[in-house]
Amino acid sequence: MNAAVITGASSGLGCEFARQLDNEPNIDEFWLIARRREKMEAFAETLKKPSRILPIDLTKREELSILKDALHTNKPVITYLICAAGTGRMGKSMDIPPDDNAMMIDLNCRAAVDVTQMCYPYLRKGSRVLEISSTASFQPLPRLNVYSASKAFLTSYTKMLHYELIPRGIKVTAVCPYWIKDTEFIGQAEKTSKDYSGYFLASRTQSVVKMALFDSKMNFWVSTPGPVCFVHRIAAKFIPHEIMVPLVDLVRKL
Ligand SMILES: NC(=O)c1ccc[n+]([C@@H]2O[C@H](COP(=O)([O-])OP(=O)(O)OC[C@H]3O[C@@H](n4cnc5c(N)ncnc54)[C@H](OP(=O)(O)O)[C@@H]3O)[C@@H](O)[C@H]2O)c1
């Protein structure tokens, strides 16, 4: 049985990946992972392929045994692993409650590594791994310090994983989008503080996922699914962060 394992599958990008992969011939079943069972069940009803619902809080390491047991029992071939679970909180890092900072690190970094390593024995030649990082990983971002640092970790981890898995023929891509308006992410991030406004040129899930899947097919190690993140990646590579940080701080309220 071929499975697509998707974390963050109760909303936003996670759901959109399942939607766009619903006609993929090398997937028999979706394995949907998030905390909200009812949202995943309702979403699964909209898909043509069957889904297995795995309600897991990925910040609670002991709950990963649910995934481990399901993998051990069913021994699927994982043709797609998409780690989309992630969250951000805005504000100066010292003003964000320590539990929120810890949660971002735990979910965006540790959980992605844990899930990927747990799924690794079930990946085969041709399998595709997409770690959903962010354009925030390209430089330290004002009022998103811990979030951008967590995504810098994820992009770096994913690049090396891409290299490590080349001999096995497994394609690994760090997907680094700019703001996406039609997900729950911005609302969650603004829970602590509203430090960005306008979300000028924000992208949409449909185009982000379409480009990310294309880039993964091409086996790019980093995907910048949209013009802003593409330009940002280049700018952050060539312009010193000492300049980029105050620049972003100037434009974030536009
Ligand atoms: N939207 C943007 O502007 C943007 C830009 C760049 C990168 N990204 C990245 O894209 C990814 C997907 O975000 P999105 O925009 O689709 O946001 P979203 O709509 O908020 O989706 C986040 C998903 O993560 C799940 N999740 C949150 N905490 C969890 C936990 N403790 N355990 C298990 N699952 C958890 C949520 O489900 P439950 O609440 O049901 O658990 C939800 O399904 C994230 O990694 C984010 O950092 C987003």
Side-chain-side CA neighbours of 25 within 13 Å: the count stands at: 0
The proportion of the chain whose per-residue pLDDT surpasses 90, expressed as a percent, equals 96
Residue nearest atom 36 in ligand 1 by C-alpha distance: 8
Which CATH number is 161's domain given? 3.40.50.720
| CA distances to 14, 195, 208 from 177, in Å | 14, 19, 7
What the block records as the tokens of 188 is 């969650």
Q: What is the CA(12)–ligand 1 centre distance, in A?
A: 7
Total number of domains in the chain: 1
Please give the number of the atom of ligand 1 that sits closest to the Cα of 180.
3
Chain segment 210-226, per-residue pLDDT in tens: 999 999 999 999 999 99
| Residue 31, φ and ψ in degrees, nearest 5 | -110, 110
Give the domain range for residue 230. 2-251
pTM score: 0.97
User: Residue 138: pLDDT band by 50, 70, 90 thresholds?
Assistant: very high
Chain segment 12-32, per-residue pLDDT in tens: 999 999 999 999 999 999 999
pLDDT of the residue at 251: 87
Q: What is the CA(34)–ligand 1 centre distance, in A?
A: 9
Q: What is the CA(10)–ligand 1 centre distance, in A?
A: 9
| Residue 104, φ and ψ in degrees, nearest 5 | -60, -45
What the block records as the tokens of 164 is 């490590």
